[in-house]
Amino acid sequence: MLTAIVGINWGDEGKGRMVDLLSENYDVVVRYQGGNNAGHTVINERGKFILNLLPSGILRDSTVNVMGPGMVIDVEHLFGEVARLREAGINVTPENLKISDRATICMPYHKLLDILEEDRLGDAKFGSTRRGIAPVYADKYMKKAFRMGDLLHPESLKKRLPGILEWKNLTVNKGYGHEELMVDAIYEWLEKYGMPFADYICDTTRYLTDATNNGKKVMFEAQLGALRDIDFGIYPYTSSSSTIAAYAPIGSGIPAQKLDNVIGIMKAYSSCVGEGPFTCELFGEKGEELRQAGGEYGAATGRPRRVGGFDVPASRYGILMQGADCIALTKLDILSYLKEIPVCVKYDVNGELVDYFPSGDDLANAKPVYEYHEGWCCDISNCRRFEDLPVAAQNYVRYIEKVTDCRIKYISVGADRDQYIEL
Ligand code: GDP
Ligand code: MG
């Protein structure tokens, strides 16, 4: 059984929280793309955890976690993340964490280049998380990156490093005028933060093939949402990797396998971190109230997120791109303060009302068309059955199911593991 858990919107839909809940029924959880540029927040009986690189299954004793070949890994960040978990009493061992030898290492100079370029752009900046993700994926496709497996062969790594740094210094030093990158310093960094993971690095394809052949249940955990996908998202304000479910078997290392099930995580309203078109955005007091109510501040960066009402065209598109079989609707409880719930039902693109998700300039120029739904104005965080929800909340859920044409299977009404309704 292979299931992908993916984001339908711009990210931060509550994927980490749902993976934490649903991973109970899975033997293996795999991350298949991205790096530490986004965060999953998980709250359970063991505490509150922010995971940037590790699959959310790491918080369950019986789950094996895989970091797949599609990932980019800043080993210094991983080192810190693992140390924080250990301090909180979570076991991280080569038994429950397997890192693909094909995953790309996000080096200090990738982070540096990300920062240098964002600073150079000034007001025109991309809103990058400055974690080096675009530069490291660029190097991967330039075929000039280092991979986790290289850490197992220090001698050949040492031989390749000077040539790569000579090339990098053409931009870092000769282009941006930053001080030169030094071979020794970079090698020491790899020794200090990368080498300690030597026992965790393996051919995860072989591991996953055996696991699936032996009937193990595998869950793929996406980072970011459909609208950040490099090909199908709001390019260029996308991430640098494929965030969609179709990429899960590739980024995990088992392309011959077919997914059985795609669960889309979709928020009862919208949020978006950073720059780029976000048609349904609410401004002023309305936006500030929703941001406060939803605690919409980035898990990785602490940046205030932009917020808006539920966005029908964007969510329908996200569901389509993900090929979602069903939906987990999250953060419904956040809307409890509203008398009237705003929903962006269509876009006005140059005077024409559309219900599809445009791209390029049409998306940039789109204006939201808002409708209002009756609110319920009471606490729903203790509801555990659909019937327990106030009628207005039931109607809102049924409405969203109808306009997106996708079955809602779970409703999350709080951040704790048990605060959900299964339909
Ligand atoms: P992810 O990136 O998709 O994993 O989501 P984030 O962790 O960045 O953001 C989701 C936030 O909402 C986290 O702080 C979660 O603890 C919290 N959360 C998730 N589901 C719910 C919910 O149903 N209700 C409330 N109140 N909070 C939730
Ligand atoms: Mg997040």
pLDDT tens-place string over residues 329-381: 999 999 999 999 999 999 999 999 999 999 999 999 999 999 999 999 999 99
Give the distance (Å) from ligand 2 centre to CA of residue 400. 22
**Cβ–Cβ under 8 Å, residues 358 and 234:** no
Would you identify the CATH topology of the domain 104-197? Adenylosuccinate Synthetase, subunit A; domain 2 (1.10.300)
Contact 147 CB / ligand 1 (< 6 Å): no
Is the minimum distance from the CB of 325 to ligand 1 under 6 angstroms? no
17 lines ligand 1 (CB under 6 A): yes
Q: How many Å lie between the centroid of ligand 1 and the Cα of residue 17?
A: 6
Question: Which CA distances in Å does 354 have to 13, 147, 312, 399?
Answer: 25, 45, 11, 19
Mean pLDDT for the stretch of residues 211-235: 95
Q: Whose CA is nearest to atom 28 of ligand 1?
A: 415
Q: Which two tokens stand for residue 175?
A: 């282009």
Least confident of 102-106, 146-150, 237-241, 327-331: 237-241
- Residue 19 Cα: closest atom of ligand 1: 4
Any ligand 1 atom below 6 A from CB of 299: yes
pLDDT, tens digit, for every residue of 5-57?
999 999 999 998 998 899 889 999 999 999 998 888 888 888 899 899 999 89
φ/ψ of residue 267, rounded to 5? -90, 150
3-state secondary structure of 421: strand
Rounded CA-CA distance 30/248 in Å is: 9
Could you tell me which residues are beta bridge partners of residue 97?
A: 65
Q: Which atom of ligand 1 is nearest to the CA of 50?
A: 7
Is residue 341 lining ligand 1, measured as CB closer than 6 Å? no
Among 88, 131, 100, 112, residue whose Cα is nearest residue 240: 131
32, 68 contact by CB (below 8 A): yes
Taking a C-beta distance cutoff of 8 angstroms, is the pair 152, 201 a contact? yes
Q: Tell me, using a 6 A CB cutoff, whether residue 225 lines ligand 1.
A: no
**DSSP 8-state symbol, 297:** B
Ligand nearest to the CA of 49: 1
Per-residue pLDDT band for 128 (boundaries 50, 70, 90) equals confident
Q: DSSP assignment, residue 291?
A: H
For residue 267, report the distance from its CA to the centre of ligand 1, in Å. Answer: 9
Please determine, for residue 301, whether its predicted confidence score (pLDDT) is greater than 80.
Answer: no
Mutate to test the pocket of ligand 1, among 9, 15, 18, 331 (most ligand atoms within 8 A of CB): 331
Residue 260 CA to residue 101 CA, distance in Å, equals 26
Q: Are strands 270-272 and 306-308 parallel, antiparallel or unpaired?
A: antiparallel
Other residues' Cβ atoms within 10 Å of the Cβ of residue 218:
25
Q: Indicate whether residue 223 lines ligand 1 (CB < 6 A).
A: no
Q: Is the CB of 243 under 6 A from ligand 1?
A: no
What is the bridge-based pairing of β-strands 97-100 and 201-202? Answer: parallel
Q: 2-103+201-263 and 104-197: same fold?
A: no
Atom of ligand 1 nearest to the CA of 419: 23
Residue 35 has what pLDDT?
Answer: 96
Residue 89 φ/ψ region, left for φ over 0, alpha for ψ in the -120 to 50 degree band, beta for the rest: left
CA dihedral 118, 122, 123, 127 (to 10 degrees): 10
Strands of 209-355, DSSP E: 218-225, 261-267, 270-272, 306-308, 310-311, 326-330, 340-349, 352-354
What pLDDT is stored for residue 39 in this prediction? Answer: 80
Return the number of other C-beta atoms located less than 10 Å from residue 166's C-beta: 13
Q: How far is the CA of 222 from the centre of ligand 1 (A)?
A: 14
Please compute the mean of the pLDDT values over residues 71-82 and round it to a whole number. 98
Q: Is 333 in the pocket of ligand 1 (CB under 6 A)?
A: yes
Question: Is the Cβ atom of 211 under 6 angstroms away from ligand 1?
Answer: no
Catalytic residue numbers?
A: 12, 40
Q: Which two tokens stand for residue 268?
A: 């009862």
* Cα of 334 from ligand 2 centre, angstroms: 17
Range 2-103+201-263 has CATH code 3.40.440.10: yes
Percent of the chain with pLDDT over 90: 89
pLDDT digit string (tens) for 393-408? 999 999 999 999 999 9
The ligand minimizing its distance to the Cα of 14 is 1
Distance (Å, whole) CA 108 – CA 112: 6
Assess contact for 370 and 343: CB atoms under 8 A: yes
What stretches of 14-158 adopt beta strand conformation (E)?
A: 28-31, 40-44, 47-51, 64-67, 72-73, 97-100, 104-105
Looking at the CA of residue 13, tell me the nearest atom of ligand 1.
3
What protein residues have CB closer than 5 angstroms to ion ligand 2?
12, 38-39, 299
Q: How far is the CA of 205 from the centre of ligand 1 (A)?
A: 31
| Mean model confidence pLDDT for the chain | 95
**By C-alpha distance, which of 73, 421, 62 is closest to 223?**
73
What is the pairing mode between strands 2-7 and 218-225? Answer: parallel
Q: Where are the alpha helices (DSSP H) in 33-153?
A: 75-87, 108-121, 133-142
Distance 182 CA to ligand 1 centre (A): 41
| Domain positions in the chain | 2-103+201-263, 104-197, 266-422
pLDDT at residue 64, as a whole number: 97
Residue 401: how many other CB atoms lie within 10 Å: 15
Strand pairing of 28-31 and 64-67? parallel
Nearest CA to ligand 1 atom 24: 414
Bridge partners of residue 49, in order along the sequence: 42
Superfamily of domain 266-422: Adenylosuccinate Synthetase, subunit A, domain 3 (3.90.170.10)
